[in-house]
Amino acid sequence: MEFTAQQIAGFIQGEVEGDPLAKVSNFSKIEEGVSGTLSFLSNPKYNQYIYDSNASIILVNKDFVAEREVKATLIRVENAYQSLALLLSVVENAKPKKTGISSLSNISKTATIGENAYIAPFVNIADGVKIGNNAIIHTHCSIEENTEIGDNVLLFAGVSIYHDCKIGNNCTLHSGVVIGSDGFGFAPSVDGVYKKIPQMGNVVLEDNVEIGSNSIVDRATLGSTIIRKGVKIDNLVQVAHNCEIGENTVIASQTGISGSTKIGQNCILAGQVGIAGHLQIADGTIFGAQCGLANSIKEPNQMYMGSPAFNLRSYQRSSIAFKTLPDLQKMVFELQRKITEMERVLQNK
C-alpha cells in the first residue's frame, strides 16, 4: 500500500514541508534511505544524513532547523520517534493474523482456548490451562497446568510457562522466556549440604507486559512474583523469586534483580544493573549501566551511577577525582620522598 505525505501528516497531526503528494510504501533508516520509503530524524547525531538521504519522506521534530537544502519531503511533528512508532504499529496491526489450531499440537482436553487463537505445531498445553481470545502461540511453547493467559497474548517460539502462573492481556513473551521456574531457594544443613526449599508460589504478569528473549521470572517461594502492568523487560534479564516490579518500569539487558526486592513505578534500569535482595526502590528511580545496589532507595525520582551505586551528582564529582588518581598518586610519592629527605637532613643536624 502507498500513502502520500499529506495522508501520513493527517494521521500523525504533522505539517508537510515539500511535496504533499510524495508517496511511500515502506520504511528505511535515514542513512540508508531509498526512494519510496519513509524515514525519520530525532537524534541530532544523525543530522548529517538528512541532506543526502534518498528517502521520499522524512519525519522530523518541529524544532529541526535545516542547515542546507533537503531533497526529501519533510513532515514536522512534536516527536518524530513517537510518530514513527505509531506508524509502525499501524502497519504491524494491519498484517494478516494467523488463526487455527495445528493437529500437531498437544492440548489437554481440560484446557480452554479462546476465539481466533493460533496454536502452532508442537505446542504443549497442559491440564486446566485457560487461554483468552486472539492468542498467538508459536511452535515449541510449553504451558503447564492451571496457568491462565489473557486476551491478545503473543508467545514466540520456545516460551515456557510453568504451572499456576497468570499472564494478563496484551502481553508479549519472546523466544526462550521462562516464566515460573523455581526461585533460588536452598537451606544449608549442619553437614554443609544445601537442601532445596520447595517453591510453592507463582508468577503474575499484569496487562501490557513485554519480556525479551531468554529472560527469566522465577516463581515465588510463597505468594507471587509480580510484574505490574506496562513493564518492559529486555533480553537476558533475571527477576528472582518474590520480587515485585512496579508499573511502567523498564529494565535493560543483563540486569539481575535478587529475591524479594520491590521496585517502584516508572523506574529505569540500564544494562547490567545488579540489585541485592530484600530492597525497596522508590518510584521514578533511574540506574545507569552497571550500577550495583546494596541498599534501599527511599527518595523518588533520583538517578544513580556506579558500583556501589550513589547519587548522580556525587558520582560526577567523584569521577573527576577518578581521572586524576594517577597524578595524585605521583604527587603523594613525591611528597613522601621529600619528607624522607627532610627528615634525613634534620637527623644529620
- The predicted pLDDT at position 116 comes to 94
Q: Taking 90 as the threshold, does the pLDDT of residue 105 lie above it?
A: yes
- The predicted pLDDT at position 177 comes to 98
Domain 159-308 bears CATH identifier 2.160.10.10: yes
- Place 29 in a pLDDT band, splitting at 50, 70 and 90: very high
- The predicted pLDDT at position 225 comes to 98
Residues 66, 67, 69, CA angle at the centre, nearest 5°?
A: 70
Long-range CB contacts (< 8 A, 24+ apart) of 286-293?
288/312, 289/252
- The predicted pLDDT at position 95 comes to 83
Active site residue 278: no
Name the CATH architecture for the domain at 3-94. 3-Layer(aba) Sandwich (3.40)
- Place 12 in a pLDDT band, splitting at 50, 70 and 90: very high
- The predicted pLDDT at position 348 comes to 80
Concatenated DSSP letters of 140-175? T-EE-TT-EE-TT-EE-TT-EE-TT-EE-TT-EE-T
**Cell matching residue 70:** 533537503
Stretch 88-97: mean pLDDT, rounded? Answer: 86
- The predicted pLDDT at position 40 comes to 96
Q: For 222-231, what is each residue's pLDDT tens digit?
A: 999 999 999 9
Strands 194-196 and 186-188: antiparallel
- The predicted pLDDT at position 322 comes to 75
Q: What are the b/e assignments for 211-230, b being 16+ CB within 10 Å?
A: bbbbbbbbbbbeebbbbbbb
**Average pLDDT in the chain:** 94
- The predicted pLDDT at position 324 comes to 81
Phi/psi zone of residue 132: left (φ > 0), alpha (ψ -120 to 50 degrees), beta?
beta
Residues 103, 105, 109, CA angle at the centre, nearest 5°?
A: 90
Q: For 33-87, what is each residue's pLDDT tens digit?
A: 999 999 999 999 999 999 999 999 999 999 999 999 999 999 999 999 999 999 9
Location of each CATH 3.40.1390.10 domain in the chain: 3-94
- Identified catalytic residue from 140, 163, 241, 278: 241
Location of each CATH 2.160.10.10 domain in the chain: 159-308
- The predicted pLDDT at position 321 comes to 74
From CA 231, how far away is CA 52, in angstroms rounded? 38
Q: Taking 90 as the threshold, does the pLDDT of residue 178 lie above it?
A: yes
Q: For 251-283, what is each residue's pLDDT tens digit?
A: 999 999 999 999 999 999 999 999 999 999 999
> How long is the chain?
349
- The predicted pLDDT at position 164 comes to 97
CA 333 to chain centre: 47
- The predicted pLDDT at position 308 comes to 87
Residue type for position 175: S
Q: Taking 80 as the threshold, does the pLDDT of residue 315 lie above it?
A: no
From CA 225, how far away is CA 235, in angstroms rounded? 19
- The predicted pLDDT at position 212 comes to 98
Alpha-helical regions (H) of the chain? 5-12, 80-94, 312-348
Q: Taking 90 as the threshold, does the pLDDT of residue 345 lie above it?
A: no
